[in-house]
Amino acid sequence: MNRRNTLAFSLTATLLLAAGTAQAGNTLNAVKERGYVKCGVSDGLPGFSYADAKGNYSGIDADVCRAIAAAVFGDATKLKFTPLTAKERLTALQSGEIDVLSRNTTWTSSRDSAQGLNFTGVTYYDGQGFLVNKKLGVKGAKELDGATVCVQAGTTTELNLSDYFRANKMKFTPISYDKSDESAKSLEAGRCDVLTSDQSQLYAQRIKLAKPDDYVVLPEVISKEPLGPVVRHGDDEWFDIVRWTLFAMVNAEEMGITSKNVDEMKKSTNPDIKRMLGVEGDKGKDFGLANDWMAVVIKQVGNYGEVFERTVGKGSDLKIARGQNALWTQGGLQYAPPVR
Amino acid sequence: MSATHVPHPDLPPPSSTIGALGWLRRNLFSSPLNVALTVLAVYLLAISLPPMLRWALFDATWSGDSREACTANSGACWIFIKVHFGQFMYGFYPEAQRWRVDAVVLLLIIGAAPLFISSVSNPLKVRLGLGLLLLYPLLAFMLLHGGLFGLTPVDTRQWGGLLLTLVIAGVGMTAALPLGVLLALGRRSKMPAIQTLCVTFIEFWRGVPLITVLFMSSVMLPLFLPTGMNFDKLLRALIGVTLFQAAYMAEVVRGGLQAIPKGQVEAAAALGLGYWKTMALIVLPQALKLVIPGIVNTFIALFKDTSLVLIIGLFDLMNIVHSATTNPAWLGFSTEGYVFAAAVYWLFCFSMSHYSQSLEKRLHTGHKR
């Protein structure tokens, strides 16, 4: 999401090489010994990870952390959140300050390779989109020729924007703002026709407007921003646990297992469900965890759909539609390999 | 018969030079330029004050506890501040434990109050001051962090708001001043090793921006430490801030040292005083008094610079206000939040500068012209 920091990252990466990347070691044992998971989250992005007045974190990224704690300890509260800025997040992970980073971080090739990190999956498929006033009568991004576009300065959003308009041979006038608040205000004042940013942010900005219903997020997505949890290179066991925590939640939604019916579902005759909930076989033990850890995750945190709707979807202020984040069976991209 | 000359009683001064009218004439309308400036100032106040007052006072919402209560009025929504007040003061410090923060503040007030009372004898003040400087921080840390005497431990990552701002500013000030004095003395030392060391230290820390120091402390430092060895982020920031401010303090103090005539040192030597006694009894008391404005200036700058810790994800007053303005349940009240933060910063900085002025007056020994 915030991609301003390429320079800082590459510098960090260089230093890392000098300092020796090898973070090999048994993260799982360290976590168990310590008694809690150290999870890096954002310093405040409603819907993803946001601390309320009492310091309780909510959001889809925070819930992924909870799910990991539930997987390891059978208790979703055995974790500590570390709020991190965009600049610090990768170093914090590399240096072992946190065990897993779940902080709206885009999965890119350089982070997966040079930075010594592993993305375990995608919790949220984001992408750059457009927010327009309904009065404009625009139905799609292709009709935006000649538009004045508000954009946040210094992000790759600007680059994606000009690439998109050039590729489609359209003209536009960009107006850059430093803060998202300013750009939202200027859309409201009519200084620009369109506001562009990652779609999840557009929804967040829309609810800040005086009349949110007058504005609409266009269906086009012009860049890929898959956001997901990240772990360090060199500990495959831990990688598997983090990766399959998310997969378990997605699989649970696909099989119709929710936090409410998970206990009944254990009586199901469906072998897939029985395997997953640890009633049959010992698939859970293969991870070095309790055999029924997936059931615990679902019971304490919920399946992917439940978490999505609660944090960013219908049950939240953001009201983001499932879109690309729907299950693959419903035309979305969320797909998890089978438990067997 | 001689007549004594009785002077005619003085006429009262012309009515245009006394009273409110006289004051106005003297101060606001003494020349055409001043007349123009006065008119302009009155005009600017007339167009800016009423809307400001309307927003902040008359049309503002004061009572209620939900966002809906604010929709009726067009002015400021102070409920936003009311609802988030605890958070702004204590950050994410657990509510049940907040009495500990209050206790720490209360202790400081009780402990420091005698220092401001003139009837308390000086030796007692010195002892009290030393106690505050050496014992109080330990006590405050134990209370705030807990973990001892059955107090629930509160991780430093839960500290926030004004508490964190005060912790950073307080530690930075109390640690930077002595360190700065030592550095200043070191820089003027005749021993080449010490002098080089101090000059290098000062020039290095003055040559880098604070934001870089904080960034290095939180992002780069962990990479150089062995794996698994992480020390507290707040501690790292505190060390960075202290070293940074010490370098500035050293230069301020050095200015004072240079203003002390050489005769003072020579007189001290003639009395048979050694280096440390000369410094502690003769030079520093005079030098520090001279640079009070500079020291307080550095303190005020430090107090405001604490807001930079937001780039390393610490929730000081500024960052916690910012974070509250993004609360989905309370969107659109950023102005109220920032006005509140500004007021708090102003209150502290103004008190500091006020105190420094009274200190200057008290220590005034006739140097001033």
Q: Are residues A172 and A282 in the same domain?
A: no
Tell whether A198 and A278 lie within a shared domain. Answer: no
- Position B229 scores a pLDDT of 64
Task: Give A82's contacts (C-beta < 8 A, 6+ positions apart).
Answer: A38, A39, A40, A41, A92, A97, A98, B157, B313
Q: Does A94 touch chain B (CB under 8 A)?
A: yes
Cross-chain Cβ contact A94/B223 below 8 Å: yes
Higher pLDDT, B204 or A24: B204
Banded model confidence at residue A122, pLDDT cuts 50, 70, 90? very high
Residue A14 has pLDDT above 60, yes or no: no
Q: Is B118 on the interface with A (CB under 8 A)?
A: no
Reported as a pLDDT band with limits 50, 70 and 90, residue A89 is confident
Domain boundary among A223, A255, A276: A223
- Given a cut of 50, whether residue A79 has pLDDT beyond it is yes
pLDDT one-digit tens code per residue, B105-132: 888 888 888 877 777 777 888 888 888 8
If asked whether residues A194 and A242 sit together in one domain, one would say no
Domain count, chain A: 2
Q: Do the chains contact at A85 and B312, CB–CB below 8 Å?
A: yes
pLDDT at A17: 42
> For chain B, what percent of residues have pLDDT higher than 70?
97
Give dist(CA B288, CA A315) in Å, integer. 61
The answer to whether the CB atoms of B228 and A96 lie below 8 A apart is: yes
Angle value at C-alpha B333, between B329 and B338, nearest 5 degrees? 130
Q: Do B323 and A51 touch (CB under 8 A)?
A: yes
pLDDT of residue B362: 80
Q: Is the pLDDT of residue B223 over 60?
A: yes
**CB-based contact B328 A47, cutoff 8 Å:** yes
Strands annotated E in A48-108: 50-51, 57-58, 79-84, 100-101
Report the C-alpha gap between B183 and B248 in whole angstroms.
Answer: 10
**Contact (CB, 8 A) for B88 and B320:** yes
Put simply, whether A58 touches B (Cβ < 8 Å) is no
Contact A50 B227 (CB under 8 A): no
Higher pLDDT, A232 or A15: A232
| CA dist., res. A119 & res. A100, Å (int) | 10
Q: Which chain A residues in 157-196 lie under 8 Å from chain B, judged by CB atoms?
A: 181
Q: Is residue A339 part of a domain?
A: no
pLDDT in tens, B130-179: 888 888 888 888 888 877 777 778 888 788 889 999 999 989 988 999 99
Q: How confident is the model at residue A5 (pLDDT cuts 50, 70, 90)?
A: very low
Residue A22: which pLDDT band, with cuts at 50, 70 and 90? Answer: very low
pLDDT at A120 over 60: yes
3-state class (DSSP) for residue A255: helix
B83/A53 CB distance under 8 A: yes
Beta-carbon contacts of A36 under 8 Å, excluding residues fewer than 6 positions away, are A69, A73, A78, A79, A80
Strand ranges (DSSP E) for chain A?
37-42, 50-51, 57-58, 79-84, 100-101, 117-119, 124-126, 128-133, 147-152, 172-177, 194-198, 215-217, 225-227, 230-232
Q: Look at residue B180 and tell me whether its pLDDT is greater than 90.
A: yes
DSSP state of A43: S
Residue A20 — very low, low, confident or very high, per pLDDT cuts 50/70/90? very low
Is residue A101 very low, low, confident or very high in pLDDT (cuts 50, 70, 90)?
A: very high
Closest CA to B345 of B307, B296, B297: B307
Asked whether residue A147 falls in the same domain as residue A236, the answer is no
Helix-, strand-, coil-residue percentages of chain B, each rounded to 5: 75, 0, 25
Q: Which of B91, B158, B230 sits opposite A95 (nearest CB)?
A: B230
Whether the complex's predicted ipTM is more than 0.90 is answered with no
Determine the residue of chain A that is closest to B82 in CA distance.
Answer: A53
What is the average per-residue pLDDT within B326-342? Answer: 82
**Domain stops at, among A223, A253, A280:** A223
SS3 category, B347: helix
Question: Is there a domain that residue A261 lies in?
Answer: yes
Which residues of chain B does A49 touch, with a Cβ-Cβ cutoff of 8 Å? none
Give the domain B79-93+154-363 fold: MetI-like fold (1.10.3720)
Nearest Cβ partner for B219 among A12, A53, A55: A12
| Domain-embedded: residue A1 | no
Q: Is the pLDDT of residue A45 over 60?
A: yes
Candidates A53, A55, A208; nearest CB to B84? A53
d(CA B152, CA B133): 25
The verdict on a CB contact (< 8 Å) between B327 and A91 is no
* Interface probe with A: pick from B323, B334, B336, B338, most Cβ of A within 10 Å: B323
- Please give the share of chain B, as a percent, with pLDDT higher than 90: 25
Residues in B touching A29 (Cβ below 8 Å): none
Q: Is residue A337 part of a domain?
A: no
- Per-residue pLDDT for A296 more than 90? yes
Q: Which structural domain range is residue A161 located in?
A: 128-223
- Provide the residue ranges of all domains of chain B, joining segments of one domain with +: 79-93+154-363
Q: Which pLDDT tens digit goes with each residue over A201-221? A: 888 778 777 788 888 888 888
CA distance A323 to A150: 24
pLDDT value for B256: 92
- Cβ-based contacts of A181 with chain B (< 8 Å): 334
User: In the prediction, which pLDDT does B24 show?
Assistant: 83
Chain B nearest-CA distance from A146, in A, is 30
Least confident of A71-85, A157-171, A194-208: A194-208
Q: Tell me the angle at which helices A236-255 and A60-73 cross, rounded to the nearest 10 degrees.
A: 110
Same domain, residue pair A18 and A95: yes
Please enumerate, as own/partner, the contacts of B67-74 that have beta carbons within 8 Å and a separation of 24 or more.
B67/B329, B67/B330, B70/B333
- Which chain B residues contact residue A19 at CB under 8 A? 223-224
Q: Does residue A336 lie in a domain region?
A: no
Say yes or no: A186 and A271 in one domain. no
Picking from A195, A223, A251, the residue at the C-terminal end of a domain is A223
The pLDDT of residue B81:
84
The per-residue pLDDT for A24 is: 44
A57 plus A170 within the same structural domain: no
Query: Helix or strand or coil: residue A132?
Result: strand
Banded pLDDT at A7 (limits 50, 70, 90): very low
pLDDT, one tens digit per residue, over B235-277 is: 888 988 999 999 999 999 999 999 999 999 999 999 999 999 9
The residue-averaged pLDDT of B39-56 equals: 91
Which residues on chain B are in Cβ contact (under 8 Å) with A55?
A: 91-94, 158
Q: State the pLDDT confidence band at A21, using cuts at 50, 70 and 90.
A: very low
Lowest mean pLDDT among A27-41, B106-120, B214-228: B214-228
Tokens of B160: 């926030």
Alpha-carbon dihedral sign for residues B196, B199, B200, B201: positive
In tens, the pLDDT along B50-104 reads 988 888 888 878 887 777 777 777 788 888 888 888 888 888 888 888 888 888 8
- The per-residue pLDDT for A154 is 61
Nearest CA in chain A to B98: A54
CA distance A179 to chain B (A): 12
- Residue A21 C-alpha, separation from nearest chain B C-alpha, in angstroms: 9
Q: Between chain A and chain B, how many beta carbons pairs sit less than 8 Å apart?
A: 95
Q: Are residues A35 and A86 both part of a single domain?
A: yes
B227 band by pLDDT with thresholds 50, 70 and 90 = low
User: Which pLDDT belongs to residue A259?
Assistant: 92
Interface of B with A in 235-294 (CB under 8 A): none
Q: Which residue has the higher pLDDT, A56 or B40?
A: B40
pLDDT interval class at A155 (50, 70, 90): low
Over the stretch B58-72, which tens digit does the pLDDT of each residue have? 887 888 777 777 777
Chain A: residue nearest B212 by CA?
A8
Mark yes or no for CB contact B220/A12 under 8 Å. Answer: yes
From A67-81, A152-166, A281-295, the region with the lowest mean pLDDT: A152-166
A201 belongs to a structural domain: yes
* pLDDT above 60 (res A4): no
A171: in domain? yes
- Average pLDDT over chain A reads 85
Give the chain B residue nearest A184 (alpha carbons): B332
CATH number (domain holding residue A103):
3.40.190.10
pLDDT of residue B257: 92
- Which residues 6+ apart lie within 8 Å of A145 measured at CB? A170, A171, A172
Report yes or no on A49 lying in a domain. yes
Output the pLDDT for position B228.
59
A255 shares a domain with A106:
yes
Instruction: Answer yes or no: do A144 and A212 share one domain.
Output: yes
Q: Determine contact, residues A185/A205, Cβ cutoff 8 Å.
A: no
